[in-house]
Amino acid sequence: YTDVVYMDVGGSKYGSRDFSVGGVALPGGVDGNVHYDLKGWTWTLGGTWRLSSDAHSTADLVFGARMLDIDQTLRYELNGDIASIPLPGRSGESKVGFTNWDAIVGVKGRFGLGESGRWFVPYYLDVGTGESDLTWQAMGGLGYTFGWGDVVAAWRYLDYDMKSGKKIE
C-alpha cells in the first residue's frame, strides 16, 4: 500500500502606511511586502492484512510508515521615508525545512450499500508516532463501482503533533 500527497501553498501581501498624529499627517510612510511559501510531501508506505471480507465489504489492517517533508520560506521587504528622505530598506529571508518519519498502524476498507454493492463507503484511519509525538489520518467518502474501476468522493484529514523544540512545531 502506498499513498503520496504533494502540496504547494503560499501567498504575498503588500501594504503601505502613512503616519499621522492627532489627525495631522506627518511627512513619512512605510511600505512592506511579505511572501510566504510552504511546500511539502507526505508519503505513506505500508502493508495490509485482510481482516474480513464478504461480497460487499472489506476490512484491512494497515501497518507501515509515513514520511513528512516540509520546506517553508518567508521573505520580506520594508521601505520607508521621512519627508523626501528615503530610509534604509530592510529585507530578509528565513527558510526552515525538515523530514520526519513515523510508524503507523490503522484500518482501511469499504462497506457496500444495497444489494448490488455498486455504491460503497470507503474508510481509512491510522495513528502513529516516531519523530513526531503523534500523527493520525482519517478518510471517509462515497464511491461507485464501474466495470473499469471506482469513482470516489472523499473527505480526508491528516494531523501532526510535533515534538517541542523542533524547527516546526
pLDDT band at 82 (very low <50, low <70, confident <90, very high): confident
Question: Using CA atoms, how far apart are residues 90 and 37, in angstroms rounded to an integer?
Answer: 20
pLDDT for 150 equals 93
pLDDT band at 107 (very low <50, low <70, confident <90, very high): very high
Partner residues linked to 31 by β-bridges: 16, 79
User: How far is CA 53 from each of CA 29, 60, 111, rounded to the nearest angstrom?
Assistant: 69, 9, 10
Residue 167 contacts by C-beta under 8 Å, 6 or more apart in sequence?
Answer: 96, 97, 98
Judge whether residue 40 has pLDDT over 90: yes
Q: 15 or 3, which is more confident?
A: 3
pLDDT band at 31 (very low <50, low <70, confident <90, very high): confident
pLDDT band at 140 (very low <50, low <70, confident <90, very high): very high
Judge whether residue 64 has pLDDT over 90: yes
Smallest CA-to-CA distance from 75 within 14, 34, 31 is with 34
Which triple of cell numbers denotes residue 12? 504575498
